[in-house]
Chains A and B, each alone.
Chain A
Amino acid sequence: MEGDCHYLLGNINARRRVEFVRNLLLEIGLEASRVQMFNLSSAMGGQFAEYAAKLTEEIRQLGPNPLRKDPLYTTETSTGE
């Protein structure tokens, strides 16, 4: 959990860097929510699944990365629909 990392304060430093990337995406003109960070311990499988589902849903709403022209990366293919 935050501040309670195997690498001591590592996950707090990581969060600052993730914030940097999110701001960079905004500056570029992409949605910051394409990159998100969640704190979990290895014993929180249920929570992990919940976050993964939430993030997947949010990204699906945003649609494919507009910079990605490759048809392999459209939502349809990636979700197996």
Chain B
Amino acid sequence: MIIAEQKPLDEIMGLLGSDERVLVVGCGTCVTVCFAGGAREAAIVAASVRMTSKLNSVPREVTDVTVQRQCEWEYLDEIKEQISDADIILSLGCGIGVQAIAERFPDKWVVPGLNTTFLGMPTEQGVWIERCAACGDCVLGITGGICPIARCSKSLLNGPCGGSEDGHCEINPDIDCAWQLIYDRLSRLGRLDALLELQPPKNWSTSRDGGPRKITRDDLRLAAEEE
């Protein structure tokens, strides 16, 4: 899932400026399950903004609403009246949600209440870890299901580097060396020979290096009227 965390209230207040009618929009999908921008967080942020504004004598009217998914037009359309009544939208969706609002409501100013941080998962309650960097050409099939792109600090394809120490990464002992994890797993499964094969440089054009990415599925697209 997409993992995000809330911006400090100070920064949010700065982004809101002097706009009076604020609509806080939560999202019911990824950011709900990582406790950053669901209905509960939207209500807390709305109350915090209300209280801070009152303490600083800033006239403010704050409401909150949470949609099932902020990154799909149909869910945004359900709140179009509330959006049109507001001077400013404080989105608690990930960066995609913020942009979806900006695109769907061209005349409305929208600001982010979250920092969208990574693609990952909870490893225990209250702890989330990055797992995938959406490189667009998955290599998990040769690394035993452990991602060297997202989990090795240097994104090495032929690791480990010389800094791997007792299973920890040299950039921070709190980080597991991904290549140690890969080695241990391949060893357990009797597939260490996979490491004998050198991986050629990765084609990064499927990643961010190729510019913004797009997937088109003709089998799913709806025919246009004139076709």
Q: Which residues of A contact B (CB under 8 A)?
A: 24, 27-30, 66-67
Contacts and interface: CB of A to CB of B under 8 A. Distances in A.
A10 B205 CA distance: 50
B55 A30 contact: yes
Contacts of A66: 55
22 contacts: A24-B44, A24-B48, A27-B8, A27-B9, A27-B10, A27-B48, A27-B52, A28-B9, A28-B48, A28-B51, A28-B52, A28-B55, A29-B51, A29-B52, A29-B55, A29-B56, A30-B51, A30-B55, A66-B55, A67-B51, A67-B54, A67-B55
Interface in B30-58: 44, 48, 51-52, 54-56
Given A24-B48, A27-B10, 5 more contacts: A27-B8, A27-B52, A28-B51, A28-B52, A30-B51
B120 to A, nearest CB: 22
A24 B10 CA distance: 11
Most buried by A among B8, B10, B51, B56: B51
Interface residues of B, number: 10
B149 to A, nearest CB: 34
A64 to B, nearest CB: 13
Contacts of B48: 24, 27-28
Interface of B: 8-10, 44, 48, 51-52, 54-56
A66 to B, nearest CB: 6
Contacts of B9: 27-28
Nearest to B56: A29
Contacts of A28: 9, 48, 51-52, 55
B50 to A, nearest CB: 9
Contacts of B8: 27
A66 B55 CA distance: 7
A28, A66, A67, most chain B CB atoms within 10 A: A28
Contacts of B56: 29
B68 to A, nearest CB: 27
A42 B173 CA distance: 44
Contacts of A27: 8-10, 48, 52
A56 B44 CA distance: 26
Nearest to B52: A28
A52 B44 CA distance: 28
B53 to A, nearest CB: 10
A66 B52 CA distance: 11
A66 B44 CA distance: 19
B46 to A, nearest CB: 12
Nearest to A23: B9
A30 B9 CA distance: 13
Contacts of A30: 51, 55
